[in-house]
Amino acid sequence: MSGRFDGKVAVVTGSGRAGGLGEGIARRLAAEGAAVVISDIGAQADAATPGSMIGSSAEMDAIAASLPKASTFPCDVRDPDQVRALARHAADTHGSLDIWVNNAGIGYIMKPMMEVSADEWRAVIDVNLTGAWYGLQAAAEIMIAQGKGGRVVNIASQAAKSGFMHAQAYTASKHGLVGLVRSASIELGAHGITVNNVCPNHVTTGLGKWQNEHFAEVQGISVDEYLANMAARIPMGRPGMPEDTAAAVAFLCSDEAIYITGESMNVSGGEEPH
């Protein structure tokens, strides 16, 4: 790997689960020289954040210990004060804040529309959309003060472009990210800060495994059949991998992408063409 992020400092939210998408992104940025802040909620806070679906403090510490330049900072992205503290931690601990990746998300509250409670709806929107807004605002505040530009990337989804059953809140939250970057990029361009989304199709992490099992059960087929059907509709013949999304994030955070902002980049093997 090149050292194209030497001297850069990156925050990746939702990066505390071993084998998760956030960990993959953090490892790619670290491999190219960035100091990385590994951040996740750390422990269950309420019914919307079950221990089986979040990055624990122990997992965060283990991931950070395996990287050359890293620290950890627990953060519930639903709390703007915690998000601002995370941004300050990056700048104070590592000397600057250059890259912010909004990866934290809830993709495990999925059920028929008429069964979704108000609390469940709010939890998904609060993490996936409002949490990204808090991150963007906190990162931009420091980046503007530094006066050297910066990169903000949201991990959206194929669901930012298309609708899916049992995913009303999730799809709405991810569609919202498209509007967020389109507007934020207009205001932040003058400061040299780019704002973009990466929109992967299905990635079988721990969360992805749960989704496979859930939708296979809904459709009355085996997980193997569900995965075979998924691969058959993807032109490149396979679901996404964490490395695919991480590579797209690294590109958008690099100098090669200095003139790309306000975009929502598909990383779907051709499954999502618009």
pLDDT given at position 266? 98
On whether both 126 and 230 belong to a single domain, the answer is no
On whether both 174 and 229 belong to a single domain, the answer is no
On whether both 252 and 225 belong to a single domain, the answer is no
Is residue 182 in a domain? Answer: yes
> Hunting for tokens 């919307």 — which residue is that?
48
Is residue 51 in a domain? Answer: yes
On whether both 183 and 235 belong to a single domain, the answer is no
pLDDT given at position 2? 65
Residue 83: how many other CB atoms lie within 10 Å: 28
And the tokens for 192?
């040299």
Cα gap 86→77, rounded to integer Å: 10
Is residue 272 in a domain? Answer: no
Best CA proximity match to 261, nearest among 201, 202, 200, 191: 191
Is residue 3 in a domain? Answer: no
91: left (phi over 0), alpha (psi -120 to 50) or beta: alpha
Residue 17 maps to which CATH number?
A: 3.40.50.720
On whether both 228 and 181 belong to a single domain, the answer is no
Is residue 254 in a domain? Answer: yes
In the chain, the number of structural domains is 2
Cα gap 37→72, rounded to integer Å: 5
Which ranges in 66-167 belong to alpha helices (H)?
80-94, 118-125, 131-146
Backbone phi, psi, residue 142, to 5°: -75, -40
Domain assignment of residue 231, given as a range: 204-239
Is residue 176 in a domain? Answer: yes
Per-residue pLDDT of the chain (274 residues; tens, 9 = 90+): 569 999 999 999 999 999 999 999 999 999 999 999 999 999 999 999 999 899 999 999 999 999 999 999 999 999 999 999 999 999 999 999 999 999 999 999 999 999 999 999 999 999 999 999 999 999 999 999 999 999 999 999 999 999 999 999 999 999 999 999 999 999 999 999 999 999 999 887 766 787 888 888 889 999 899 889 989 999 999 989 999 999 999 999 999 999 999 999 999 999 998 8
On whether both 111 and 215 belong to a single domain, the answer is no
Active-site residue identified among 134, 170, 226, 259:
170
Is residue 198 in a domain? Answer: yes
On whether both 107 and 133 belong to a single domain, the answer is yes
Which residues, in sequence order, are bridge partners of residue 57? none
Quick check: 237 and 231 in contact, CB under 8 A? yes
On whether both 248 and 215 belong to a single domain, the answer is no
| Strand pairing category for 264-267 and 150-155 | unpaired
On whether both 39 and 115 belong to a single domain, the answer is yes
pLDDT given at position 215? 83
On whether both 166 and 245 belong to a single domain, the answer is yes
Is residue 46 in a domain? Answer: yes
Quick check: 185 and 146 in contact, CB under 8 A? no
Which residues, in sequence order, are bridge partners of residue 193? 150
Q: Any catalytic annotation for residue 170?
A: yes
* pTM (whole model) above 0.85: yes
pLDDT given at position 5? 98
Quick check: 27 and 19 in contact, CB under 8 A? no
On whether both 51 and 163 belong to a single domain, the answer is yes
On whether both 147 and 216 belong to a single domain, the answer is no
Q: How many Cα atoms occupy the beta-carbon half-sphere of 199 within 13 Å?
A: 25
Decide: helix, strand or coil at residue 204.
coil
pLDDT given at position 209? 81
pLDDT given at position 1? 53
Residue 228 belongs to what H/E stretch? helix 223-232
